Structure 1
Amino acid sequence: MQALSVKSGRDVAFASVVALLLAGCAGPSVAPTQLGQSRETRVGEVLVGPEGMTLYTYDEDTPGTSNCTGLCAAAWPPLHASSEAEGFDGFTPITRPDGSRQWAYDGEPLYLYVGDSKPADVRGDGVDGVWHVARP
């Protein structure tokens, strides 16, 4: 049996960290009763998800299609919808590239941001010029 080289050991460790991050992306599904709320923040009124956390949109998405996958989705977790979820009041479930479901508002997929630690945080607004708070 051949021993792992330092480089391959680092590769395994890196792959393990990435796998753990991606596993964290598959959060619980958000029920429709947890949607439709908004909150006043330092940047104005924003849509919020579970526990009052700010929701975001991504300029690289197209209506009804999420383009934030892999490491992007680790930093910007999609707002997951169950397979039975049905649309209401501008909120619609969409299917992500991996087959999971995500909530969208007026066609724009919705995300949380790992940099926000409490309700009313809007640290993700303007990141890389492509992330924006979701507005009601």
Structure 2
Amino acid sequence: MKKIRIAGAGCTLVAALALAGCSSGGGGGSGGGTPAAKDPTTLSTSDSPMGKILVDGKGRTLYLFTSDGKNTNSMKCDAECVKEWPHMKGKPKAGDGVQANLIGTTKGGGTPQATYAGHPLYYFADDHKAGDTKGQGIDKIWYVVDPHGKAIKKAASSGGGGGYGY
């Protein structure tokens, strides 16, 4: 099979059928068949200094809020809290390292929030790129989530951000 390189596509194509798997962004990629960006609603796991953690399809870290408890239908993170800790909306799909039977949503009013092992899932506003874990351990109530849906309480090596206690 003949390999074809398309300038700016960020990947090498093997025949015309592989075109659908290429990224059209100009980000340069690593070449050699780099897949398109994953669907952001797909949960998967990623390696971190704290071990394997739950991330969305773009590699953004997901957190749980211990005050929510497990199998909750009413989140304790109010409107002011959600500015700093936006929730993951809707029901995501299971990706690598994730147990599909642990994925769910809250049943409260408004937009359903994604849950994993009964815990509502949140992002931290100061995490700006894939792999950031600046929210880890804030106020000893916000933690990254392991593949089994449990809070990882080990400190992040890069340190956390300021507090936002609830």
Structure 2 spans left out of the alignment, 5+ residues: 1-38, 95-99, 148-166
Q: 1:46 to 1:81 in 2, by over 3 A?
A: same
Residue identity over aligned pairs, in percent, reads 27
Is 1:43 the counterpart of 2:47 in the alignment? Answer: no
Q: 1:103 to 1:40 in 2, by over 3 A?
A: same
Aligned match for 1:129, one of 131, 137, 140: 140
Q: 1:79 to 1:133 in 2, by over 3 A?
A: same
TM-score (norm. length: structure 1): 0.67
Is 1:99 the counterpart of 2:110 in the alignment? Answer: yes
Cα shift readout 1:27-60 (whole Å, capped 9, x = no counterpart): xxxxx98333111112211100141100000011
How many matched pairs?
Answer: 102
Q: 1:54 to 1:36 in 2, by over 3 A?
A: same
Structure 1 spans left out of the alignment, 5+ residues: 1-31
- In the alignment, which residue of structure 2 is the partner of 1:90? 102
Say whether the 8 Å CA contact 1:48–1:55 is kept in structure 2: yes
Aligned match for 2:65, one of 58, 61, 76: 58
Q: Distance in 2 between matches of 1:40 and 1:93?
A: 25
Q: Distance in 2 between matches of 1:111 and 1:80?
A: 9
Q: 1:50 to 1:86 in 2, by over 3 A?
A: closer
Q: Distance in 2 between matches of 1:33 and 1:113?
A: 16
Q: Distance in 2 between matches of 1:33 and 1:70?
A: 23
Q: Higher relative contact order at CA 8 Å, sep ≥6: structure 1 or structure 2?
A: 1
- In the alignment, which residue of structure 2 is the partner of 1:74? 83
User: Structure 1 or 2: larger helix share?
Assistant: 1
TM-score (norm. length: structure 2): 0.55
Q: Distance in 2 between matches of 1:59 and 1:111?
A: 11
